[in-house]
Amino acid sequence: MSKTWFITGASRGFGHSWTKAALSRGDKVAATARDISTLKDLAEEFGDALLPITLDVTDRDAAIAAVQQAHQHFGSLDVVVNNAGYGHFGFIEELSEAEARAQIETNVFGALWVTQAAVPLLREQGSGHIIQISSIGGVGAFPGLGIYHASKWALEGFSEALSNEVSSFGVKVTIVEPGGFATDWATDSAVHSEPNPAYQPIRDARAAQRGAAHRPGPDATVQAILAVVDAENPPLRLLLSGQAFEVARHLYNQRLATWAKWEETSRSTDQS
């Protein structure tokens, strides 16, 4: 049975790959982008199955209108993918107020506005699946990306709460946590703070680590996303890539070990 999708940030990377994959199997997609000319190739190939919508997700009224337009055009929505976002590179000391606010506006509030617009429609129809695109950076935090991590941890927090709020209505939520992929997230799409020379050694070390890592293209994620969307009981969280899985395993082992080491101190607060 075909599905109807709403995908933000469909112009490139994951969003473009997932839009094409959904259309290729006979689904319908409302695909948003700041510049819908980037969707011309898909419009030419798939015709009326694609509804391109111009959207800046930081505009709450526009986000609500876009979701409603998609619902009215296709008659229903089955899958809502909050993919729009970007990475801001900057050490905490380097961040300007404008940079910090812009990151949160897009990565947190942008997803929140689309989610708020979609939930009443999905709740009313008694079905639907909201896919929130987080990151391995929503599981752990690394130097030079603090405000990006803050945005993804916020997304994960409200999305986990959401899953408990809407499950009784037949609405599912999955938080997708990709590792490193060969998208333009760290290049053309990235924003950088004015660098402080004090952090240059750490910056260089992190850049070398990223450069050495194997990064498959976004098309490598297609089958995993389709499997989750088609699952009767999809996971609340899905790690994408073996790298992400190993990083998450390492981080949680560290956390469990630290909590265990300090358990006595933690439990000492139970005493009256």
Rounded to 10 degrees, the C-alpha dihedral 158/83/217/192 comes to -80
**3-state SS assignment for residue 126:** coil
Is 86 known to be catalytic?
Answer: no
Is 134 known to be catalytic?
Answer: yes
For the residues of 62-120, what is the DSSP string, one character each? HHHHHHHHHHHHHS--SEEEE-----EEB-GGG--HHHHHHHHIIIIIHHHHHHHHHHH
Is 252 known to be catalytic?
Answer: no
Determine which one of 3, 28, 152, 172 is catalytic.
152
Buried b (16+ CB within 10 A) or exposed e, 118-137: bbebbbebeebbbbbbbbbb
Determine which one of 3, 11, 28, 134 is catalytic.
134
Contact 13, 38 (CB under 8 A): no
Determine which one of 3, 28, 135, 148 is catalytic.
148
Closest residue by Cα to residue 12 from 187, 272, 238: 187
Return d(Cα 68, Cα 209) in angstroms, integer: 43
Residue given tokens 């011309």 in the structure block:
40
50 beta partners: 29
Catalytic positions, written as ranges: 134, 148, 152
